[in-house]
């Protein structure tokens, strides 16, 4: 069952805060992308209702981006109102909980730039969508890519290979609302 991206953002931000982990908008975008991919590969359906767009500088859930863009590259300090209002009425399924737990562990080990580099790997759904001129990353691309991670044996640690950056990633604290092509997410 897909959940609102703002609701899932609230879940990630709440859990990260409980563990003392700061999350910027850029990092949140990458964590939602990973959680959605894992959930899709495991359950066959998307974790979030909104599409993930293939913006110039990375995968973006537009609704989440606009909710938190005021923070620039700083840690987000608020929980979305949607999460606060509906937290008591939403019961996440087991796979959703596992996907969120996984990305919280990833958040502890990788910063926003490392996550961005990982999402920009040449075989990633974002890279393939951009190469094909698609503005939305398809569920099929996500599912096919993230299936490879389901085959790994379970462990107590999270291992994510981060490809070296081929070009520097620029993070700007101020981004105009309609400037998708200049947004460094």
The pLDDT score that the predictor gives to residue 85 is 80
Q: Which domain holds residue 32?
A: 5-173
Give strand ranges (E) for the chain: 52-55, 58-60, 136-137
User: Would 179 be classed as within a structural domain?
Assistant: no
The DSSP code sequence of 8-38 is: HHHHHHHHHHHTT---BHHHHHHHHHHHHHH
User: Would 108 be classed as within a structural domain?
Assistant: yes
User: Would 24 be classed as within a structural domain?
Assistant: yes
Distance from C-alpha of 77 to C-alpha of 59, rounded to nearest angstrom? 22
Q: Which DSSP letter does residue 89 get?
A: T
The pLDDT score that the predictor gives to residue 84 is 81
Higher-pLDDT residue of 81 and 75 is 75
Distance from C-alpha of 57 to C-alpha of 119, rounded to nearest angstrom? 10
User: Would 142 be classed as within a structural domain?
Assistant: yes
Please state, rounded to an integer, the average pLDDT across all residues of the chain.
84
The pLDDT score that the predictor gives to residue 150 is 82
User: Would 71 be classed as within a structural domain?
Assistant: yes
Q: What is the pTM of this model?
A: 0.81
**117-131 per-position pLDDT tens digit:** 999 999 999 999 999
Domain count within the chain:
1
Alpha carbon 158 to chain centroid distance?
16
Question: Max Cα separation, the chain?
Answer: 44
- The answer, yes or no, to whether residue 173 has pLDDT greater than 50, is no
Query: Which tokens belong to 57?
Result: 């500088």
The pLDDT score that the predictor gives to residue 87 is 75
- The answer, yes or no, to whether residue 152 has pLDDT greater than 60, is no
User: Would 87 be classed as within a structural domain?
Assistant: yes
Number of CB atoms found within 10 A of residue 95's CB:
17
Q: Are 5 and 32 in contact (CB under 8 A)?
A: yes
- The answer, yes or no, to whether residue 156 has pLDDT greater than 90, is no
**42-58 per-position pLDDT tens digit:** 999 999 999 999 999 99
User: Would 180 be classed as within a structural domain?
Assistant: no
Higher-pLDDT residue of 177 and 96 is 96
User: Would 185 be classed as within a structural domain?
Assistant: no
SS3 of residue 136 by DSSP: strand
């Amino acid at each position: 069952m897909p959940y609102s991206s703002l609701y899932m953002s609230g879940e990630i931000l709440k859990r990260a805060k409980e563990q003392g982990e700061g999350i910027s908008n850029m990092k949140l975008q990458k964590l939602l992308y990973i959680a959605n991919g894992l959930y899709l590969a495991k359950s066959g359906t998307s974790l979030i209702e909104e599409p993930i767009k293939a913006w110039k500088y990375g995968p973006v859930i537009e609704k989440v981006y606009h909710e938190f863009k005021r923070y620039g590259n700083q840690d987000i300090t608020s929980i979305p109102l949607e999460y606060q209002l509906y937290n008591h009425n939403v019961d996440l399924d087991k796979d959703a909980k596992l996907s969120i737990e996984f990305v919280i562990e990833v958040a502890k080990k990788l910063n926003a730039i490392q996550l961005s580099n990982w999402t920009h790997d040449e075989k990633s759904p974002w890279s393939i969508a951009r190469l094909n001129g698609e503005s939305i990353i398809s569920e099929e691309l996500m599912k096919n890519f993230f299936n490879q991670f389901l085959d790994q044996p379970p462990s107590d640690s999270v291992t994510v290979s981060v490809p070296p950056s081929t070009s520097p990633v620029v993070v700007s604290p101020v981004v105009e609302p309609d400037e998708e092509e200049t947004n460094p997410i």
